[in-house]
Structure 1
């Protein structure tokens, strides 16, 4: 698996444990309809936006092994949710090294770089 920079995909987070497969990486397969492939760094603005959009990432859900997210946590977001947040002006920063290359089918690398904490030097 490759990231958006064409390099091996790096883990996004082990604490909290993220990824569709809960393996720390933003990878997916055909069973992941949401395409959890964007490694994003949570902030209060995005967490409130997600809650209002019907996806509560804040509240702890022990029955799912989910402690709830807080600002600063890294999390594998659904591709379309990140794009929706971008369109609404609340997209969180991302980690390019940990974001799956398939997001490039939906949005340009140039746009991703604008929101990256690990901007490459071209």
Structure 2
């Protein structure tokens, strides 16, 4: 951790509380976030019946969605992590039902 990270966090109202390495029990907030992401990923797998090879995409989708769901922090009630970080509400107009059937149009490039 360097002074740039600390100043970046301080400007955005984020408090950094370092913990010793390899002691996961002391980093409860991050561990809960990771558990929530993994639970959401497993749910997306079971709900959409998508093949296991798409695991990384499911995890990215879960993190993307989690950052656009409201949180209940003490000082920033009913705001999303995206909104806290960037200052404006995230757009959700582009979201589709996960696991929706899609059709891909393949064009042959003729030079």
TM-score, with normalisation over the residues of structure 1?
0.21
Larger Rg: 2
Higher strand share: 1
TM-score, with length taken from structure 2: 0.22
Identify, as 1 or 2, the structure richer in helix.
2
